Amino acid sequence: MLTVHTLADWRAQLAAAPAAPIFVPTMGNLHDGHLALIRRARELSGDSGAPVVASIFVNRLQFGPNEDFDTYPRTLQRDQELLASAGCDILFAPSEAELYPQPQTYKVVPPTELADILEGAFRPGFFTGVCTVVHKLFNIIQPQAAVFGKKDYQQLMVIRNMVQQMALPIAIHGGETLRADDGLALSSRNGYLSADERAEAVQLQAALRRVREQVLAARQAGVATVEALHGFEQGATQALDARGWRTDYVLVRRQRDLLVPDAAELNAAEPLVILAASKLGRTRLIDNLEV
Ligand code: PAF
């Protein structure tokens, strides 16, 4: 696997590539979940000759002032080995000066109804930071397709929406969330957990599963209402907080636009997703479960 650090070196690679790349953007500190995205990209490439390209860039624009930008683990050498083992052809790993040679004052601002709810309500400006860097990376890499994990469910939806509205010729693929044996979704931030917190962390997914059972039972009985949903959401929040978590949200939403389902949709087959974010000690974990 080749690693390039500059736009000029990347553009030379792009000019020589037999087909437009399949792209997996990351912030590094990789785990098996990322590697599954690389393998998905490899499958999408098939025997077309399209190179599988990953990027590693810790994007300052998407971190809030009290978030972990400075301490976010930078593990380039290990990441390179992992990417190579998963079938990545080229890694684009620019420095901050290379990607943002001037302050990035042109930004891609996603619509408030999609980007200021859920994660966006607790991380102001997060999706503007994500869209700005992803749009810029798309302009640089010029991929035909890109793969994003479903663990960051809202991010995947925002990116799909951006690509559609901006008419970018890029197919967006969602990769399934990889989980540890006990059900904890793999995440770069799991490394921040102490041993006790790691054992407790599985409760987030357990809470989502309980909400899913409640929704399915209410749906089957034809008695699902928006009020009942609020009850399930609050019950899950209180159960986590009683164990010492500090929950930002547990919410049941429509898969298609992340808005609140109405009663008719709840009792029909409207695809739903339960999304949660909660803090355990100093670590904020997110997860989701489709219904
Ligand atoms: O999901 C991530 O790791 C980041 O948000 C992304 C898409 C690489 C943009 O910085």
Active site residue 34: yes
Q: Give the pLDDT of residue 195.
A: 97
Which residue of 30, 126, 133, 147 sits with most ligand 1 atoms within 8 Å of its CB, as the best mutation to test the pocket? Answer: 133
**Which residues approach ligand 1 with their CB closer than 6 A?**
25-27, 59, 62, 130, 133-134, 152, 155
Which atom of ligand 1 has the smallest separation from the CA of 149? 1
Which atom of ligand 1 has the smallest separation from the CA of 26? 8
Q: Give the pLDDT of residue 104.
A: 97
Which residue of 37, 53, 67, 152 sits with most ligand 1 atoms within 8 Å of its CB, as the best mutation to test the pocket? Answer: 152
Q: Give the pLDDT of residue 146.
A: 99
Which residue of 134, 150, 154, 159 sits with most ligand 1 atoms within 8 Å of its CB, as the best mutation to test the pocket? Answer: 134
Catalytically annotated residue among 5, 34, 173, 230: 34
Q: Is this prediction's pTM over 0.85?
A: yes
Q: What is the 3-state secondary structure (H, E, C) of the chain?
A: CEEECCHHHHHHHHHHCCCCCEEEEECCCCCHHHHHHHHHHHHHHCCCCCCEEEEECCCHHHCCCCCCCCCCCCCHHHHHHHHHHHCCCEEECCCHHHHCCCCCCCCCCCCHHHHCCCHHHHCCCHHHHHHHHHHHHHHHHCCCEEEEECCCHHHHHHHHHHHHHCCCCCEEEEECCCECCCCCECCHHHHHCCHHHHHHCHHHHHHHHHHHHHHHHHHHCCCCCHHHHHHHHHHHHHHHHHCCCEEEEEEEEECCCCCCCCHHHHHCCCCEEEEEEEEECCEEEEEEEEC
Q: What is the pLDDT of residues 140-152, one digit of tens each?
A: 999 999 999 999 9
What is the band of 223 on the pLDDT scale with cuts at 50, 70, 90?
confident
Q: Give the pLDDT of residue 263.
A: 87
What is the band of 113 on the pLDDT scale with cuts at 50, 70, 90?
very high
Least confident interval from 79-88, 101-110, 154-163, 263-272: 263-272
C-alpha 58 – ligand 1 centre gap (Å): 8
Q: What is the pLDDT of residues 63-107, one digit of tens each?
A: 999 899 999 999 999 999 999 999 999 999 999 999 999 999 999
